[in-house]
Structure 1
Amino acid sequence: MMRLLSSVFISAMLTGSAGAGEMRTFTDNQGRKLVAQVVGFQENAVTLRRNDGKIFDLKESSLSEEDQKFLKAERAAQGSEISALNRVVGHELFTQNPLLQRSAREVAAALRLSPESRTPGMESWRLYAAFVAGADGKTGSYRLFGAMPYSLALYSDPWGSVSHLSVVFANKGDYGSTAGFGEDHFSGEESDDVHSLEGAMEADFNKITAGLTGVLGEPVTQRFGEGKERRTVSRWDTQGVSILLSMEEGEFVGLSIVPVNFAENGGKTLRVNDSAIKSRVASAVKREANGDVVIQGIPMVNQGPKGYCVPATFERAMRFMGMDADMYLLAMVGQTGMGGGTSPKLLIDEVRSQVYRKGRRTKDEESRKLTISRLKRYLDAGTPVMWTMFSLSDYNKIANGNTQARRQVTDWSDWATKVAAQSAEYAKKEQEPDAYHICMIIGYNEATGEFAVSDSWGESYELRWVPEGVAQWVHNQGLFMILP
């Protein structure tokens, strides 16, 4: 299964134009010429980048004596720059082996990130730094580029190397929020102190800018992104990557590390072939002997301790369907309030626009009845259904308990009887509109009368089973699909 965002970056790396930095004409031992830029070094080799964007390693001993002298000096100079840059980062993020050539797992370990998602062709790791200890052992003292990264996410390419890094510093979702993780985030509170947020954002932006400028020089300014997510960024280039820093008023301070070619292309992503998407999502549907039908390989995005269920869920669906997405940018488009609370309508309008630009289609429905027969045609085709609902404590208790109990089931007819009794019980109960939420329906079992659901709360909530009648009890009538 292909991975969207990393695949976009890989294509950009292979086909883009030359990046910033000094190009040099190298000569090998046989007198042949090569114009390239030094990106980094291996033990006995240099990593070069050609004008066409291709990156490759070359043994230093295969080059002329003059070039070898140049590379010796360049290796020493780059080593000094990397040491200075890592002091600014606060971690050993950069080495002479270029970042995009390194194992993503190795980099995740260096940054102390936890696994978030693993699907065919992509892995991701994430850290919410406000809840972990820094170098001094105190919770909340973790720093990156001199500021607290409220969210730090790392993504791999299909070969396990680093694809890109995405960091969000002071932002309206996490700043001042006392909400918990997972189900507990409904009981938390959010700060409405906009002025404190603005001050924190400005302080983070200035601190990061000063640190990077002190090592890499003054940044260039450019526009980056697509549609309503397009923004102005400050850009520094090093080792074949671009470090992009932006501050969106009242929203967030964000930093991304991406391939130079992707930055030079303005962050424009490539359209994925329709037939490739249809084939991939259809092959993601797994059918079990007991009647379970589940869409696999949907990336997990942990929304963290804030009310970002809408943008996090949409990010997951968009990435699964071959489109670039980021929950913080989607929250900006959806006019999410301090701590969370996104307008699904505003977000759907923007998502629909992005989907159309990439050749996909959308479908949204208002439906009082939530039934397997109504949704199975989408699920059978590998299309997750985004579902507005009330994430009540009774619902979560049943979802957690049934999912655990299912692992021990040997008589599925008996299990179907128990599930039917739960559905019948909750069919008699009145709705309790509270704990407004959106998650995904990713499968079903028609024989047992259950939906498979997935919440954007981390690995433990990636797949839970809920009786059809209980799902109807918490149904808030909204359904949205991105079609292949």
Structure 2
Amino acid sequence: MKFLVLMTFLCPLLASGETRSLALERLLKKDLWDTPITTFAEAAKGGGFQWLSSQKQALRATRGKVTLFGGPVGEVVVRSKKDTISSLSASLYNRGDDGNMKKDEFTALRDAWVRRISDFTEIEPQPYKSRSAVDLERLIWRGGSSAFLLEASLKDGSGAPEFLRLRLAPNAATTHAPKTANRFSLRSNLTSKPNGDIYLENVPMVDQGKKGYCAVASAERIMRYYGNPIDQHEMAQIAQSSAARGTSLALMVDALKKAVGKLNTRTLVLYEYPKGLADSDRDIRTYNLGLKEYMRDVRSYNKLAEEAGKQVFSVSRERVINMSYFMAKCDGPLYARVMEEKSSFRRFKQKITEYIDQGIPVAWALQLGMFKEGKLPQMYGGHMRLIIGYNERTSELIYSDSWGDGHGFKRMPTAHAFCMTNAIMVLPPTR
């Protein structure tokens, strides 16, 4: 079996071709699962691998930097547990990054990868069945210490290709379902610092790239934090996300509610603004109540803005100002004065504290652009990130964006966060 041959980490070979890229199979050695991830990172230089976070628990390479078994691959993610490599996944096709693909082309691509993996391992694949969030066609190659799992997914109904990926893991890891955390064990991730910071450690980082996958990337991080290795492409399929349009908040909540049986979680919306925004089944009364609340807040803002000589916004019973436009154009500190006086601000803080103290991260849907946050891949519009902590002493929230290294641990005043919020929700484990 070729993948059991001892290979050196010192001189990884480069695949031939116009662009020099790392031939990843050169690093798949017998003791891969005993290899420190920092050693792998050193050996994989030239493959474009970058750390996903400052904790150096995972590496990511993007398309064009790596080949595998002579074929091109997209995103490659290498993860670790206790500093040694625990898994490797390679995207061979996904709708979000690569666009739509015809079914016959997808079948040909899958068959080509079956041949590549079979040639490399010198083993014939076997069907593999295991519980998953979406329907998958799976083949597995087992041998020695490693297992190669090829997973193909087609969209329900239309049969349109969603993704094709290859996962590598220790053989033992594929013989039983992943062990997910229970609510009691999650509290062990809670950390307190002398400066008043209280936050969750060990929340995995992913990089959504340039796709509008912030919601599904946030959901992937929560699931991985619980021990469920689902990825954003599966979540995108569940949530019917578009890489260009992203995910409607109401649709995302609906989709997560449908998937909770498979994911062993629940979906709880803790706060939404305006009321009914996260509920696709809202009735007209709820919708109107939400609009009235929003219009009332804009009028309160206008009073302060007029006194301060700032821009005011025209609103009436016949005219409702676009919320995204208002949030991008209003004076943030003035708007914060309005929002801080609301009783819902106290409930907002209370719910975040309640769930963080249980070890549960909070998904935060918001509008960017009201307050400066430094350099972000996206500066305006709808976004979802994770709240992972708080500091009552400084009145700040601690949060994390799904954009890789440098975005894992940030803070802002809680009042500013409340002004930007469309909804906060949690996906607590059912156990």
**Normalized against structure 1, the TM-score is what?**
0.60
Displacement of 1:41 after TM fit? 7.2
Q: Which of 102, 112, 118 is the aligned partner of 2:35?
A: 102
Distance, in Å, in 2 between the alignment partners of 1:261 and 1:129 is: 29
Displacement of 1:173 after TM fit? 1.0
Q: 1:469 to 1:105 in 2, by over 3 A?
A: same
Q: What does residue range 53-452 of structure 1 map to in structure 2 within 5 Å?
A: 91-95=25-29, 97-111=30-44, 112=47, 113-117=49-53, 123-130=57-64, 134=65, 142-158=66-82, 160-176=83-99, 194-195=100-101, 201-202=106-107, 204-217=109-122, 219-249=124-154, 250-265=161-176, 268-272=177-181, 275=184, 277-281=185-189, 284-289=190-195, 291-339=196-244, 341-342=246-247, 343-356=251-264, 362-368=267-273, 369-370=344-345, 371-392=348-369, 394-395=370-371, 397=372, 399-400=373-374, 435-452=381-398
Distance, in Å, in 2 between the alignment partners of 1:438 and 1:365 is: 15
In structure 2, the gaps of 5 or more residues are 17-21, 155-160, 274-343
What residue number does 1:475 align with? 421
Q: 1:162 to 1:378 in 2, by over 3 A?
A: same
Q: 1:104 to 1:126 in 2, by over 3 A?
A: same
Contact 2:396 2:411 (C-alpha < 8 Å) held by counterparts: yes
Displacement of 1:454 after TM fit? 1.0
Distance, in Å, in 2 between the alignment partners of 1:326 and 1:454 is: 17
What residue number does 2:19 align with? none
**Percentage identity across paired residues of the two chains:** 22
Deviations along 1:167-226, whole A, 9 cap, x unmatched? 1122111115xxxxxxxxxxxxxxxxx34x657644542432222233434632323442
Secondary structure at the counterpart of residue 482 of structure 1: coil
**Are 1:454 and 2:400 matched, yes or no?**
yes
Deviations along 1:368-410, whole A, 9 cap, x unmatched? 3453234222223332111111123x43x2x339x9xxxxxxx
Distance, in Å, in 2 between the alignment partners of 1:222 and 1:340 is: 35
Q: 1:269 to 1:340 in 2, by over 3 A?
A: farther
Displacement of 1:457 after TM fit? 0.8
Secondary structure at the counterpart of residue 406 of structure 2: helix
Distance, in Å, in 1 between the alignment partners of 2:187 and 2:197 is: 21
Deviations along 1:96-153, whole A, 9 cap, x unmatched? x33223333333443432111465xx811111124xxx4xxxxxxx422333322100
Distance, in Å, in 1 between the alignment partners of 2:227 and 2:24 is: 34
Displacement of 1:460 after TM fit? 1.5
Displacement of 1:229 after TM fit? 3.0
Q: 1:464 to 1:125 in 2, by over 3 A?
A: same
Q: 1:247 to 1:339 in 2, by over 3 A?
A: farther
Distance, in Å, in 2 between the alignment partners of 1:299 and 1:445 is: 21
The worse-fitting range, judged by mean Cα deviation, of 145-154 and 220-229 is 220-229
Contact 1:170 1:200 (C-alpha < 8 Å) held by counterparts: no
Contact 2:128 2:138 (C-alpha < 8 Å) held by counterparts: yes
Distance, in Å, in 1 between the alignment partners of 2:228 and 2:175 is: 19
In structure 1, the gaps of 5 or more residues are 1-20, 22-37, 43-77, 135-141, 177-193, 404-433
Residues matched between the structures, number: 334
Distance, in Å, in 2 between the alignment partners of 1:200 and 1:102 is: 37
Displacement of 1:354 after TM fit? 3.8
Deviations along 1:329-383, whole A, 9 cap, x unmatched? 2222222224462341244225522453xxx655333433453234222223332
Contact 1:242 1:258 (C-alpha < 8 Å) held by counterparts: yes
Q: Aligned partner of 1:353: which letter? A: G
Q: 1:294 to 1:400 in 2, by over 3 A?
A: farther
Deviations along 1:400-453, whole A, 9 cap, x unmatched? 39x9xxxxxxxxxxxxxxxxxxxxxxxxxxxxxx72211111222334332222
Distance, in Å, in 2 between the alignment partners of 1:205 and 1:388 is: 36
Contact 1:173 1:340 (C-alpha < 8 Å) held by counterparts: no
Q: 1:465 to 1:263 in 2, by over 3 A?
A: closer
Deviations along 1:8-58, whole A, 9 cap, x unmatched? xxxxxxxxxxxxx9xxxxxxxxxxxxxxxx99577xxxxxxxxxxxxxxxx
Q: 1:377 to 1:273 in 2, by over 3 A?
A: closer
Displacement of 1:319 after TM fit? 2.1
Q: Aligned partner of 1:285: which letter? A: T
TM superposition outliers: structure 1 runs of 4+ over 6 Å: none
Secondary structure at the counterpart of residue 438 of structure 1: strand
**Normalized against structure 2, the TM-score is what?**
0.67
Contact 1:315 1:326 (C-alpha < 8 Å) held by counterparts: yes
Across the aligned residues of Structure 1 and Structure 2, the Cα RMSD in angstroms comes to: 3.5
Distance, in Å, in 2 between the alignment partners of 1:199 and 1:391 is: 41
Displacement of 1:255 after TM fit? 0.4
Deviations along 1:240-266, whole A, 9 cap, x unmatched? 21111122232111001122233344x
Distance, in Å, in 2 between the alignment partners of 1:91 and 1:228 is: 29
Distance, in Å, in 1 between the alignment partners of 2:194 and 2:39 is: 35
